[in-house]
Amino acid sequence: MVGGGENEKKMKILCLHGFRTSGSFIKKQISKWDPSIFSQFHMEFPDGKFAAGGKSDIDGIFPPPYFEWFQFDKDFTEYTNLEECITYLTEYIIANGPFDGFLGFSQGSKFRDPSICDVAYKDVIKAKSVHFIGEKDWLKIPSEELASAFEKPVIIRHPQGHTVPRLDEVSTDLLKNWVAEIVTGEKVGVSVCEHEKKEEVDSTNGMEINMGNAETVVVAQA
């Protein structure tokens, strides 16, 4: 990882958990990744504004309490308490920010309300981004839509469902170099192995990496 001395100020990242989970749970979810990925960041994990209004999918797996940011209908197009959620997060950011970046999972990553989408996704978002898309994720299509809203996104595909995946060596190296580029502002080549062949890939051009059981790691422009 790239960085200065111990007294160097770290970039602050706001991390928002998924539906009916918690800040502690998303912290646990990403703990399966190489910790050096986050060594340049100060991560904050707030809980959602509202207590879970029903059974959590992680009940019995991870201890309560559980929270939700807002409520929604089955099509994810009508929301309840969304304004309260936005106000809550705005006040949190003012009190604890400024933040340099954002990490979100599921409910903590994208809205589909037309009144928000017409503004938030009207133009291409020119911010560096990494997107994890599961082949068996029931929210795969919304994940694709979110990635397409960004300019030159880095997309890491995995064979699992609606979860934070474990990262293979190639994906870990990709994220380390991506973070180094964010921190230093300099381009960093990402070494991608395809069988025994290595090639340098410019992470600023946008790319896709498929993590699967196959030996070949497929890299393509996004």
Which residue, 14, 20, 76, 17, is CA-closest to 51? 20
Q: Looking at 8-125, which runs of residues are DSSP E strands?
A: 11-16, 41-44, 50-51, 67-68, 71-72, 79-80, 101-104
Provide the whole-model pTM: 0.78
Question: Which amino acid, residue 82?
Answer: L
Residue range 84-122, pLDDT digits in tens: 999 999 999 999 999 999 999 887 456 666 777 788 888
pLDDT for residue 198: 34
Look at phi and psi of residue 48 and say left if phi exceeds 0, alpha if psi is from -120 to 50, else beta. beta
pLDDT for residue 100: 94
> Does the structure show a pLDDT above 90 at 30?
yes
**Percentage of the chain surpassing pLDDT 90?**
51
* Cβ partners under 8 Å of residue 162, min gap 6: 106, 134, 137, 138, 139
pLDDT for residue 109: 56
pLDDT for residue 187: 64
pLDDT for residue 34: 95
> Does the structure show a pLDDT above 70 at 14?
yes
All structural domains of the chain: 1-122 (3.40.50.1820), 127-222 (no CATH)
pLDDT for residue 92: 97
From first CA to last CA, the distance across the chain in angstroms is 25
What does the mean pLDDT of the chain come to? 80
Cα angle value 164/198/39 (rounded, 5°): 40
Name the least confident of 11-15, 75-79, 193-197. 193-197
- The token duo for 92 is 């949190």
> Does the structure show a pLDDT above 50 at 7?
no
> Does the structure show a pLDDT above 90 at 56?
yes
pLDDT for residue 23: 97
Measure the CA–CA gap between 24 and 107, rounded to whole angstroms: 15
Q: How confident is the model at residue 4 (pLDDT cuts 50, 70, 90)?
A: very low
Measure the CA–CA gap between 52 and 215, rounded to whole angstroms: 42
Q: How confident is the model at residue 59 (pLDDT cuts 50, 70, 90)?
A: very high
> Does the structure show a pLDDT above 80 at 208?
no
Residue range 149-205, pLDDT digits in tens: 899 899 999 999 998 999 999 999 999 999 998 888 766 554 333 322 333 334 345
